[in-house]
Amino acid sequence: MEFWNYIIENFLILAVFFAGYELFLKNSKFFKFSRFYFIFGIVFSLVLPLFKYTIFVEIKPTAFLEATKGTFEEFSKNSTNISSRNSINFEAIIFSIYLLISFSFFGRFILRLFQLKKLIIATENISVIKGVKIKQSPDNHGSFSFFNYIFLDKISVKSIKNYVLRHELIHAQQFHSLDVLFIHLMQCFLWFNPLIYLLKTRIIDNLEFITDRAVMKKARATNQKNEFKFYQYQLLSQGLANQQLPITSFNQSSIKKRIIMLNKKASSKLHLLKLSFLIPCLSFIFYSCNVDEVETIDENAEFSFYFNRDTSEEELQSKVSMFNHFYKDSVTLKISDVSYLNGQLNEFTISRKFPGDTDFVQSLSMENQTKSTSFSNYISFKDQKLILKMNPAHRIEISKDTNAAFIRTKN
């Protein structure tokens, strides 16, 4: 797998998922679905480029010779799918720089997690609610949660209607910290991809939307309208948007966006069908980047070829090379001493070598054909015999034990 192909395909897949969210999910209330959508999209973009699929397109030897004007050597390079690029050292240097930067980000990420662990150990518990430990946040941080730990600022601790605590409890109970750690970890290794930063913002926003909606669902039905208003006021005045883990620098979610989504009506599930547009887009990317069509020649087919006065030497030798490729274990053909007169084939010598022969044996020599206005030679191999047909008069069969058996044909 080439490094650059992986990077490009990863970017394209992320772009498709990001476009799908922006077009069909961004302004909807499918928050829980969006949470799964983001994680699946990122994992999918990491895994799909690893898969490769090869389609072998089998062609007949005669069809190949009619379709191509290149040499047999060029065909061999294409059929074996060998890259001739000499950028291995350059790519190795780029990849080394990428790893160095990635592990630098990863090291900083691990360091901040250790700082958070140190903070958790050093801070005493205020109370415990449903297995979640409540602690007081340091003076320089707002309220935030991390798995089953909640840090509240001084104002939130003293608040009578503590929506901040409710908010953080939902973050803890629904394991939102997993999503945030995941996107930060992906950012360490996809730091070069601008889409990962946009996706990070969308993921944080969506987690806040999920939590705001859950807080309001738990509000008392008798006084839901007033609590809904009070919650929005508290968002503006107290800053519930600052509910991030400060040590890992989680992005703030926009208060304006959260209030808009709180007041938004539920979306029809039919809108999710629009996401089906992703399937052809992803299929096209996979086929373009992961599917290789490799042309192969049917090794079991019989191979024969004609040549005449208008056959160029390049074309002639290409046919000979193809012939030898097919019958390499049975016979080797050589056409030498080729000369042209007035742009037309005039002289040539045909030699052969069977397995066990020490050298080529001359089988046919055609010279001084200027009087003949046209001729057509046919070469094939059948029943362990090299067959030469010279229209219209002769057929020559050459086996390992018999150099030449001339058989006159009917006119």
- Confidence tier at 250 by pLDDT (50, 70, 90): very low
3-class DSSP state for residue 80? coil
In a domain, 161, yes or no: no
In a domain, 122, yes or no: no
In a domain, 395, yes or no: yes
**Alpha-carbon 58 to chain mean position:** 25
pLDDT, residue 4, reads 81
Strands 291-297 vs 53-59: parallel, antiparallel or unpaired: parallel
In a domain, 33, yes or no: no
In a domain, 341, yes or no: yes
Structural domain that includes position 361: 305-408
More confident site: 43 or 139: 43
What is the number of structural domains in the chain? 1
More confident site: 157 or 154: 154
Q: What percent of the chain has pLDDT above 90?
A: 21
Of the segments 103-117, 293-307, 312-326, 371-385, which one has the largest average pLDDT value?
A: 103-117
In a domain, 358, yes or no: yes
Quote the crossing angle between the two packed helices 176-189 and 88-122, to the nearest 10°: 150
In a domain, 298, yes or no: no
pLDDT, residue 217, reads 80
In a domain, 147, yes or no: no
Residue burial 160-176, b: 16+ Cβ < 10 Å; e: rest: eebbbbbbbbbbbebeb
- Its pTM stands at 0.65
pLDDT, residue 45, reads 92
pLDDT, residue 100, reads 95
**Short-list 277, 275, 273, 269, CA closest to 30:** 269
- Confidence tier at 86 by pLDDT (50, 70, 90): very low
Q: What percent of the chain has pLDDT above 70?
A: 75
pLDDT single digits (tens) 264-302: 877 777 778 888 888 888 888 888 877 776 656 555 567
DSSP character at residue 24: I
3-class DSSP state for residue 125? strand
- Confidence tier at 11 by pLDDT (50, 70, 90): very high
Hey, what's the torsion of the CAs at 90, 96, 98, 103, to 10 degrees? 180
The mean per-residue pLDDT over the stretch 107-135 comes to 89
